[in-house]
Amino acid sequence: MSTLATTVDGLKLPNPFVIGSGPPGTNLNVISKAFKEGWGAVIAKTVSLDASKVVNVTPRYGKLHSGDGKEVIGWENIELISDRPFKLWEEEFKKCKDMHPHGVLIASIMEEYRKDAWIEIVERCQACGVDAFELNFSCPHGLPERKMGAAMGENPDILKEVVTWVMSAAKKPVWAKMTPNVTHIEDPSRAALKAGATGISAINTIRCVMGVNLDTLRPEPNVEGYTTPGGYSCRAVKPIALRMVMECAQLIRKEFPGRSLSAIGGVETGNDAAEFILLGGDTVQVCTGVMKFGYEHIKPMCEQLLAFMGKHKFATIADFKGKSLDYFTTHADLVKRQTDRKAAQKAATESKMVKSDAEWSGSDFVKQSNELAR
């Protein structure tokens, strides 16, 4: 019988589905809801030591609908990290672990380019009992003036230095969350892993502009008539996320065997999750999907993933993790493979043709005649 239970970096999860950092993990109430519904782990909304500079606006979401208007396929947000005081988060982290001692609680942290700040936030979160860390090097729009988020994650040298600081203090697994807003995601991923990160999370949202209102001529989402580029998520980003997860997985397989990969990007079904695991994901994060379907959506996703595993007789997640990576190659190799296949087919056809009068057969006479005609 198939099981979704898995162990990643020593963390025992009932299933590979993880609440991604964002609104679905914004306080103790919603985190508790996620654990009660059966999510494998929860990554809380990103916290920092000083939340006083974090001021969210409304509206802060923009949606892209399908042609018939019945489905949301793209989602933009200009939401910042948590605006709640860090002391309050410390209290809630402790309460959460008391209420859900077996629930895997992961703290998403973001700080400025200061060693003392990163070490302090790590040590204080650890004291609250969190099970792991995710380093937010990837928020595409929030607080770049403080060199936070993607402003840090786009620079492999700075990223490597910060991960080194974190690893000097961390006693729990550390995942570095990668920004997709780079040319080669392998570069920052390699920097984080070289610095000792336990694993990689990929991808965060893609920097975007959702659209322009053709009546008002104002871009969306409209805040007092203005906007700012935000982060793009939901189903529409899945193909891009699959490609980048594949690239991270190939890097890990080649240079950092044993490190983990948490896959993110447009996951809404168990089959979506299966694709990301086939491309190397140990876990699969869901954030926008929770905002669309609710916390209870974990149940049909688990059922569908189990059905996929049963169909292929996979007993565990490990049985099919990365199984599709071997089928990626270069375009030049694709050309060679197709040329070789056509040549082999031609040779096989020609080998069946009558080459001398002695080879004619009365029972296959018409077929042999047709072979020669071709």
Catalytic sites, residue numbers? 139
Q: Distance between terminal CA atoms of the chain?
A: 52
Q: What is the spatial distance between Cα 320 and Cα 16, in angstroms, rounded to a whole number? A: 13
* Cα distances (Å, whole numbers) of residue 272 to 46, 279, 299, 301: 25, 11, 14, 9
Place of tokens 């997985």: 249
- Max CA separation in the chain (angstroms): 94
What is the bridge-based pairing of β-strands 72-77 and 230-233?
antiparallel
Identify the three-state secondary structure at position 334.
helix
> In Å, what is the CA distance from 277 to each residue of 219, 237, 320?
37, 17, 7
Print burial letters for 11-47: b (CB count within 10 Å at least 16), e (below 16): bebbbbbbbbbbbbbbbbebbbbbbeeebbbbbbbbb
As to burial, measured by CB atoms within 10 angstroms (0-12 exposed, 13-18 middle, 19+ buried), residue 164 is middle
